[in-house]
Amino acid sequence: MAPTTILRQRARRHLKSMHTNHCIGAHRAVILRKLLIWLLLALPLSGFAAGFSLEDMQGKTHRLEDYRGKWVLVNFWAIWCPPCMSEIPELNSLHDAHNDKDLVVISIAMDSGSKKKVAEFSQAHGISYPVVLGNRKIAAQIGEIDVLPTSFLYSPNGEQVSYQAGEVTRESIETYIKNKKLN
């Protein structure tokens, strides 16, 4: 056989094997794609938090799962933030009215300096709910924070049901919960 004929035959075999391998690879890709779609559809798509574990300034650990059966409001704030300061009486009132029953407030002080500074501020402003000294790692357990204050509300089954960038009031939280209970 002439060398060019041998080269042509090898080229044809190579092209044929490439086509076969490509088809097998494409078939595998289709199967993998379908499997991935099935898995994504099979997983529950909800606002359930993976959970959080926060240690407050008194040394007590607060986990979302510990508050099953209660609404949980997680509020991010800072001592230098005027809207945060005006929100404190509202959060105190909300916490004091519901703490032993159906709702707990947990606050996370962000970019606020030392533990001593935050403790003094909390005492001076009469904060009655737990205060956690926050950082980006702690915030990542809860969610994205673009502004302060920011609040996340979790239902009694642990589902994140609301997010508020900006101030909240006792009335707005109680109205939201009341409307959720009616639905």
How confident is the model over 154-173, as pLDDT tens digits? 999 999 999 999 999 999 99
Task: For residues 34 and 70, state if they share a domain.
Answer: no
- Show the domain range for 6: 1-43
Task: For residues 110 and 136, state if they share a domain.
Answer: yes
Q: Supply the mean pLDDT for the chain.
A: 84
List Cβ neighbours of 124 (8 Å cut-off, separation of 6 or more). Answer: none
* Domain assignment of residue 48, yes or no: no
**What is the structure's pLDDT at 85?**
96
**What is the structure's pLDDT at 50?**
63
Of the candidates 70, 74, 79, 31, the one whose C-alpha atom is nearest the C-alpha of residue 177 is 70
Q: How confident is the model at residue 137 (pLDDT cuts 50, 70, 90)?
A: very high
List Cβ neighbours of 34 (8 Å cut-off, separation of 6 or more). Answer: none
Task: For residues 156 and 97, state if they share a domain.
Answer: yes
Express each pLDDT in 111-134 by its tens digit: 988 999 999 999 999 999 999 999
**What is the structure's pLDDT at 182?**
78
**What's the pTM value of the predicted model, to 2 decimals?**
0.73
Task: For residues 97 and 152, state if they share a domain.
Answer: yes
Least confident of 20-24, 28-32, 37-41, 141-145: 37-41
The average pLDDT across 78-99 equals: 97
Task: For residues 8 and 68, state if they share a domain.
Answer: no
Q: How many domains does the chain have?
A: 2
In angstroms, rounded to a whole number, what is the distance separating the alpha carbons of residues 84 and 113?
15
Task: For residues 12 and 37, state if they share a domain.
Answer: yes
* Domain assignment of residue 175, yes or no: yes
Q: How confident is the model at residue 44 (pLDDT cuts 50, 70, 90)?
A: very low
In angstroms, rounded to a whole number, what is the distance separating the alpha carbons of residues 82 and 149?
9
**What is the structure's pLDDT at 38?**
41
Largest CA distance in the chain: 98
Which two structure tokens, joined as six digits, stand for 100?
A: 């032993």
The number of CA neighbours under 13 Å toward the Cβ of 122 is 25
Task: For residues 37 and 58, state if they share a domain.
Answer: no
Task: For residues 106 and 171, state if they share a domain.
Answer: yes
* Domain assignment of residue 57, yes or no: yes
CB 125 within 8 A of CB 135: no
List Cβ neighbours of 57 (8 Å cut-off, separation of 6 or more). Answer: 115, 118, 119, 122, 130, 131, 132, 133
